[in-house]
A and B are shown apart, each in its own frame.
Chain A
Amino acid sequence: MLYGFGGSVLRVNVGTGDIDIRALDPAFARRWLGGRGFISKILYDEVPRSTSAFDPDNLLVISPGVLAGHFAPGGSKCCFGAISPITNGLGDSTVGGHFGPELKFAGYDLVILRGISPGPSYLVIDDDKIEIRDAARYWGRGSMETEKMLKDDLGCDFEIATIGPAGENLVTSACITHDYGRQAGRCGIGAVMGSKKIKAIAVRGTRSLAVYDLQKTKEVNLAIIKRTSRHPNMDPWQKYGTAMFVGWSNNNGVYPTRNFQTTYLENHEKLDGAELVEKLLVSHKACFGCWMNCGKYSKVALPDRPTVYVEGPEYETNALCGGNCGFERIDEVAYINWLCDHLGIDSMSGGGLVAFAMECFEKGLITREQLEGRQLRWGNLDDFEHFLKMIAERRGIGEWFAQGLAPAAKKISGGSEKFAVQVKGMGMSGYDGRYAPAMLLGYMTSDIGAHHNRAWTITLDDDIGRQVISGKAKLVVYLQHIRPFFDSVSSCRLFWGEVDVTPEEYIAAIIMATGWNEFTLAEAMTASERVWNLNRAHFLERNCHLGKSGRAFDYPNSRFYEEAVPSGPGKGARLTLPQLDLMLDEYYAARGWGVNGNPSREVLLELGLEDAAGNLEEAGLLGRLSTELPPSTRGERYKPKAF
């Protein structure tokens, strides 16, 4: 008996209607753990290198990992993955809420969609009853509207994942929305779902999860709940969620302001968590089985606009749609949050796109004529709304932005690529790296581009010294291993980062769920390192026509090594290209990669990735070690300070 997992893999060809359900291979499960791990392996093995994001042979892969659905800290997550239309490498994004647990209760650890449906459709997974249904009635509707309609039509006990109009229109920053405001946001997975003409996936699961040691699970997790409830960080997290980062981020000189021109917003108090709670809060909203309830559900009533309800704005939306676009009113940012969710645009990438366009307008690189007679002024809600709809509907120059930041900068030219804030085409998360070099290194080396959640390292910068360059790479590597662990087992990292649940306690929860003999943190970290190296190999194999050196893909736009921070606590902070190269040198060395940033045969073989080693060798992409393989970082540990 396979404890801990749903037990089945569901494959659906939405083009032909073929459905295949097979048992999950236990050895595969332990090696890749689930979630992000499963998705990395499936995409590496099954998607031809010549297949691009919107081709029928791209796969939309969905996986709740081993802890999803369990009585364990944060067992709520579900990972969505595909070849990304933004990076042309592996893309994945993890969403909380209830979708992942529901898939497990229906019996599935992996759902793999292939092909393109002949017309708009949605997929219903009702335990072992699988149906592809006509979605004509939902096509064109907003994300939350679609979710409500499907719950009304199917039953409120279904969990829904849906795309909005942006996903239907293949906008590369399109997201997948679930639970009225939680998103698998990044990497454009919503656009891949749209390319398959799948408007939504509805799931209902009524089975019990098989747990190896249920009694102990109950006792241990109850004790963790009791302990962490008394933790001093619990109260602010419950009250404000991530929105409380706004003040901290500004005071630490990392808050993206007016398209990362500076790192401090003068009136940031007006966007802080306290302001959100005081002015907009309707209710606190938690994911499945979570007692931190970081979600803040808001009601926004602005003059001349419909009254709307939205989950958020949490920190990233606040930063990238707020200060980064020059907004200083929490109700306006919350409305923008709703607009992004409604249209199905990732509010992080979407905020970055509009901020870039605003700076282009400020510099005269975009004209009123190109904006259908409108303007794009910092902090102007009408301008923002009009332009976001141009993107979602691919109207005029909205078409360029629908393709992504890098393609838009190429079209606009005029030096705009210097301030198109991205790595590998992926817009940057809400922390500027000039006064936090380890954060910048995390962005530069992330497998999906400039996303914070692959390694959030600012407190590491704090610990070692904000402008110290050397000596941070190894710890970035460690953080890039612990994070895939949480994404693979589908557990929220916040209990680890904020209220001191230890990695060993997560490991214990996995053992209690699965009964795995001698499962250790070292084994889990090895699985993470395997995922990281596989994704690097995959990226290089897919993008080697643009260059054979991984290093060439690892630089941010030049604002981050040519311009100093002009104001705020980070004023004067400046990085140079040689400093970025030094960080990359140390990073590649710590990973056992060649100086060109490509994985070496030695490290791939140590991790059991013989196939990737063979593929890289055949393509002339193997990195060459200049010294012996360094000792693995797997035994090291670093825990960032809690917020």
Chain B
Amino acid sequence: MRLKVNPDNCSGCRLCLQICAMEQFNEVNPRKARLRLEAAFPEPGKYCPRVCTECGSCREICPVDAIEENQKGVLSVREDSCIECGACVEICPEGVMMRWEDGIPFKCDFCGQCAEVCNTSALTRQS
């Protein structure tokens, strides 16, 4: 499963951020989401959710090969190998390799909750 973004449909409600942090961390804190929202205001007045595309840049840059496919076939950070250098965070073209207070980076695991909660189809599941 991957995520498809339809930016023209996004109304900037941040429900996707809210549910992501709840799902992944059991916390109400949209800043801990594994996706992010860009807002270009006052002009042109558009929103755009940015999500992981599994492009592999993070895996390529990782100096210790700590990023690899997990059992679900999704790239993820192996916490026991990560040296917290932050190179993957820097290289991510979507800006969605996340990090919280200089800890181990984390990324989307394609749980699909963001698409589940999106009422405008700005985010949808893609098989």
Contacts and interface: CB of A to CB of B under 8 A. Distances in A.
B19 A156 contact: no
B120 A238 contact: yes
Contacts, number: 96
Contacts of B29: 105, 206-209
Interface in A255-275: none
Given A71-B19, A283-B46, A309-B42, A289 B14 contact: yes
A154 interface: no
A285 B42 contact: no
A290 to B, nearest CB: 5
B13 A287 contact: yes
Interface stretch (A292-300, A325-333, A417-425, A554-562): A292-300
B26 A214 contact: yes
Nearest to B100: A206
Interface in B1-56: 8-15, 18-19, 21-23, 25-32, 39, 41-47
**Chain B: interface size category:** 20 to 34
Nearest to B13: A286
**Chain A: interface size category:** 35 or more
B46 A289 contact: no
Contact of B45 (A148, A209, A288, A309): A309
Given A148-B42, A214-B26, A105 B31 contact: yes
Nearest to A311: B45
Contacts of B32: 208
Interface string A137-148: 000000010011
Nearest to B47: A283
Contact of A70 (B8, B25, B28, B42): B28
A289 B45 contact: no
B44 A291 contact: no
Contacts of A286: 11-13
A208 B15 contact: no
Nearest to A295: B11
A209 B120 contact: no
Nearest to A4: B28
A607 B75 CA distance: 59
Of the candidates A98, A179, A218, A299, the one having the most CB atoms from chain B within 10 angstroms of its own CB is A218
A158 to B, nearest CB: 12
Nearest to A210: B28
A214 B43 contact: no
Nearest to B116: A222
B117 A225 contact: yes
Nearest to A218: B22
Contacts of A615: none
A634 interface: no
Given A283-B46, A309-B45, A293 B22 contact: no
Interface of B: 8-15, 18-19, 21-23, 25-32, 39, 41-47, 116-117, 119-120
Interface of A: 69-71, 98, 105, 144, 147-148, 156-157, 179-180, 206-209, 211, 214-215, 217-218, 222, 225, 229, 234, 238, 282-291, 293, 295, 297, 299, 309
